[in-house]
Amino acid sequence: MIRISQLASSVQPSATLAAGAKARELKAKGIKVFDFSLGEPDFDTPKHICDAAEKAARTGQTHYTPAAGTAELRKAIAKWYGRFHGLECGPENVIVSNGAKHSIHNVLAATVGPGDEVVIPTPYWVSYSDLVMMTGAKAVLVTTAMETGFKMTPAQLSAALTPRTRLLMLNSPCNPTGTVYSRAELEALVDVMAPTEAAILSDEIYEQLTFGTAKPTCVATLRPALKDRVITVSGASKSYAMTGWRIGWAVAPAPLVKAMDNIQSQETSCPSSVSQAAMVTALESPESDQCVADMRAAFAVRRDLVCGLLSKIPGVQFPVPEGAFYAFFRVADHFGKTFGDKKVTDSMTFCTALLEQAHVNLVPGSAFGAEGFVRMSFATNKETIEGGLAKLKDWLASGV
């Protein structure tokens, strides 16, 4: 029998991908499932981006590229940061990877190791703690409350710092809560980090998906004195409906980009050449702005629909999400009840019983470090949202 390494044994499978797989099993049996588990836009990648990929494939852009990405794409990303966020950076500050998840992995691999601590506000995106753990560093979780919009306060951050803190991970707009920190709130957090030697990894992958008056902030633009300690991660998946293309990037001080380049050159050689060519078009074509605006508007309509319907369900509480495409709501009032033959005691038993009995698929809050809650992705159509939330409401009413 092959022995599985300690590292592999300690990694949890991604809870969101696992929830999606369970729903697919039911669907394969012919059951209609209201699936709200997956974190990907339901839109197709805009046509002009696909056309660019086709052209790249047909004109020989099918070879290895430099490990850190093509010169064209690194330049296009640097230019986009100037245009969108007013961040001054050059291609030497950019490294392209196989998705933002891979970028985060490489940032962590290049900055932390055994004995180091990484501060993460919870609820957090499922993969953060496992990615930290894979480096041998320790995730220090800071619990935030629904009542304060799931925002970490400067006092909470300050209390979490130790001489071993090497990194703070931020994620605004946030998966799973939809929380968007204001510029001033982020400035206050960055100021807490100023006297330390720790860096900040800011995952801004939902930056183009904010609603109403909420605005995205690029943390690297906040305090020029700290610019050399801020790493920005983002990517193609969410804003451009390009999850399968696997393009993400980090914008960081040049020496860190070089270190990540070395790691990546041994790890994957380079991201897909065709996807990189398509990404240049995604960032530079004026058509993209309209496509992103249309998708953002569609998500905003769904956000309002979800919030309207959820607010009519007894025993459910949530802050209105201001970005990304998730509602994160508290269902703990229903714990202790029995549904059918299943007693629900936590978010995992809640989601399992709900999927089995009502065929509605949500992700347990425990996967995001927040017991008592569930996450619903609203990257799906109106009929699914209306049908699924009607089912959820009826199912909740059946609990005794």
Residues in contact with ligand PLP by the rule CB under 6 A: 39, 99-101, 125, 171, 175, 203, 205, 235, 237, 243, 248
CB of 177 or CB of 384, closer to ligand PLP? 177
Nearer to ligand PLP, 61 or 98 (CB): 98
Comparing CA positions, the residue from 336, 350, 347 lying closest to residue 372 is 347
100 vs 200, beta carbon nearer ligand PLP: 100
Tell me how far, at minimum, the Cβ of 103 lies from ligand PLP, in Å.
7
Residue nearest to ligand PLP (CB): 99
In the block, residue with structure tokens 């949530």: 318
Number of other CB atoms surrounding residue 308 within 10 Å: 10
**Two structure tokens written together for 103:** 């970028």
SS3 for 39? coil
What is the closest distance, in whole angstroms, from the C-beta atom of residue 104 to ligand PLP in the complex? 6
146 vs 247 by CB, closer to ligand PLP: 247
Backbone angle region of 373, left / alpha / beta, with phi > 0 → left and psi within -120 to 50 → alpha: beta
Q: How many residues are listed for the chain in this entry?
A: 400
Closest distance of CB 282 from ligand PLP, Å: 13
Query: In the Cβ-directed half-sphere of 215, how many Cα atoms lie within 13 Å?
Result: 11
Alpha helices in the chain (DSSP H): 6-10, 15-28, 47-58, 71-85, 100-111, 127-134, 154-160, 183-193, 254-267, 273-284, 286-310, 347-358, 382-397
Nearer to ligand PLP, 118 or 353 (CB): 118
- Give Cα separations from 125 to 15, 109, 243, 338 (angstroms): 10, 18, 16, 30
Q: Which is nearer to ligand PLP, 99 or 319 (CB)?
A: 99
Compare residues 278 and 358 and give the one whose CB is closer to ligand PLP: 278
DSSP conformational letter for 177? T
For residue 6, count other CB atoms closer than 10 A to its CB: 7
If the CB atoms of residues 39 and 178 are measured against ligand PLP, the closer one turns out to be 39
| Residue type at 50 in one-letter notation | C
Rg of the chain over CA atoms, in angstroms? 21
The owner of tokens 């506000």 is: 121
Q: Is 206 helix (H, G, I), strand (E, B) or coil?
A: coil
- For the bound state, the minimum distance from the C-beta of residue 39 to ligand PLP, rounded and expressed in Å, comes to 4
Q: Which is nearer to ligand PLP, 238 or 359 (CB)?
A: 238
Minimal distance, residue 33 CB to ligand PLP, in Å: 20
State the burial class of residue 297 (Cβ atoms within 10 Å of its Cβ: 0-12, 13-18, 19+): exposed
Asked if 257 and 60 count as a contact pair (C-beta separation under 8 A), the reply is no
CB of 339 or CB of 368, closer to ligand PLP: 368
Nearest distance in Å: CB 173, ligand PLP? 9
Q: How far is the CB of 127 from ligand PLP (least distance, A)?
A: 7
For CA atoms 25, 26, 29, 30, the dihedral sign is negative
Please state the closest distance from residue 246 (CB atom) to ligand PLP, in A: 7
Name the token pair of 81: 């940061």
| DSSP designation for 374 | E
CB of 124 to ligand PLP, least distance (A): 8
Report the distance separating Cα 354 and Cα 350, nearest Å: 6
| Closest approach of ligand PLP to the CB of residue 24, in Å | 18
